[in-house]
Amino acid sequence: MKGQSAAEYLSTYTWAAIILIIMLGILLQLGVFNITNYVQPTATVVGFNSFHVDRFIVHSGGALELELSNLLEEQITINQIWADGAPLSDISPSLPLNLSSGSNVTLYANSSLSGNTGATYEAQITILFDVERGTTGHLDSGLLRDVYQPD
């Protein structure tokens, strides 16, 4: 009698266990348990001593919008900007660009950065600038992290 009830138990509940395992597998494949599907990444800026990045957007095709503020107590001239080691092109307003203390500017440019819309990127931005009082060749850099925006 015990053997028969054990066999009935296994035949009844094994199917339920198999169905449960299949359902969990399907949910895992759909990404239901992947928390990154529900949490939006936060745009972050790390670094930069002479500038404050007020806002930045990188589009999936490589177009870049960068709003910078001068944190130094004197006027500077921005001469060149690189993204991940490659110079930005078609910068507007054009360089060299004078930026007085505390003022800001929004730059529009094309960069070598590109990726799928919604994919996360991390870009090293380097700025070459001169200070009004004659010192030249200053470099400031920082890291931007966010997701690519649609073109």
**How far apart (Å, rounded) are the C-alpha atoms in residues 24 and 15?**
14
| Higher pLDDT among residues 121 and 10, named by residue | 121
- 105 with 99: CB under 8 angstroms? yes
Span 115-132, pLDDT tens digits: 999 888 999 999 999 998
Q: CA 26, 28, 31, 33 torsion: positive or negative? A: positive
- pTM of the entire structure? 0.72
Average pLDDT, the chain: 89
- What is the average per-residue pLDDT within 92-108? 94
Contact 56, 42 (CB under 8 A): no
Q: How far is CA 62 from the centre of its chain?
A: 13
